[in-house]
Amino acid sequence: MRLLSAFLVFWLAACGEPTTHTTRVEQILEIFENEPETVLITAHRGGHLLVPENSLASIDEAVEAGAHIVELDVRQTADGQLIVMHDRRVDRTTTGTGAVDSLTWAEIRDLPLVHLGVPTAHRTPTLREALLHARDRIMVDLDYKVGTFEAAQEVYDLIRELDMERQVLFFLYNHQEMPALHVLNPNIRIMPRARKIEDIREIVGWQLTDIIHIDESFAGMDELELMHRQGIRIWANTLGARDSAARVDPAAFGDFFRTLKFANIVQTDEPALLVDFLNKK
């Protein structure tokens, strides 16, 4: 059936007829919303094994690897600029030093990004620049690290301004903040983190999202199958030991999927390896 669908898309394009999907993101969203058996892959901090993490180039590497989603970390400078930066300080990822929220955007922009300890020609992007770079090419998971509701409103306004509401996932560490954020814009997907089974039950009961972030401590729980049947995407990570084992033998990913058989969005530092593994399976 998949081969037939691919042939029909190719045939219609060759005949000059309009196809259903015009961008890669629309194709990904079709899978996200209608093919729960298909695993979607998230590139953690972009393709950061090859280029500086969270850089515009890391978004390119994520797309090139075949990832469906790129994870970007959001922080705010001393003068209020929303930027893409994982750490609270710039010391590890740039040639500079100091806390992000104590430096101005101009100061951070002047700092070369570092990769594997070596300064590069890359610079820290603003959130706007990163979203524009990803638009229509790959979905974006925003790991929001600012911590204020006012800044979250700014992020929401930017997503709406760029017409990227369906393309963005807004990750929440505290699921209790979901109702207030949902009111701001119901069209932006919120992805809450569930830390215990009671969290899942509350999140599902609110019916405000179709994706929940879990970890392997939930393995074997009946709620995961129920979520799957209800069309709720289950996000989990292979970061750390799982990815390390897969670098030696990609078959190690198989153990992850046996442990969390309903996980259908997986975040990894090895997107190309996981894409290849899933394609072969």
Cα angle vertex 263, ends 261, 269, to 5°?
115
AA identity, residue 235 = W
Residue among 281, 267, 218, 278 nearest 62 (CA): 267
Please, are residues 193 and 172 in contact by the beta-carbon 8 Å criterion?
yes
Residue among 244, 281, 240, 268 nearest 65 (CA): 268
Active site residue 213: no
Please, are residues 25 and 167 in contact by the beta-carbon 8 Å criterion?
yes
AA identity, residue 195 = R
What would the DSSP string read from start to end of 237-253?
Answer: E-TTHHHHHHHH-TTHH
- Give me the catalytic one of 48, 68, 86, 133: 86
* H/E stretch holding 161: helix 149-161
Active site residue 86: yes
Q: Which residue has the tokens 């298909």?
A: 38
Provide CB contacts within 8 A for 129, sequence distance 6+.
Answer: 56
Please, are residues 237 and 268 in contact by the beta-carbon 8 Å criterion?
yes
- Identify the DSSP state of 80: -
Residue among 272, 232, 274, 269 nearest 256 (CA): 274
Q: Which residues are catalytic?
A: 44, 86
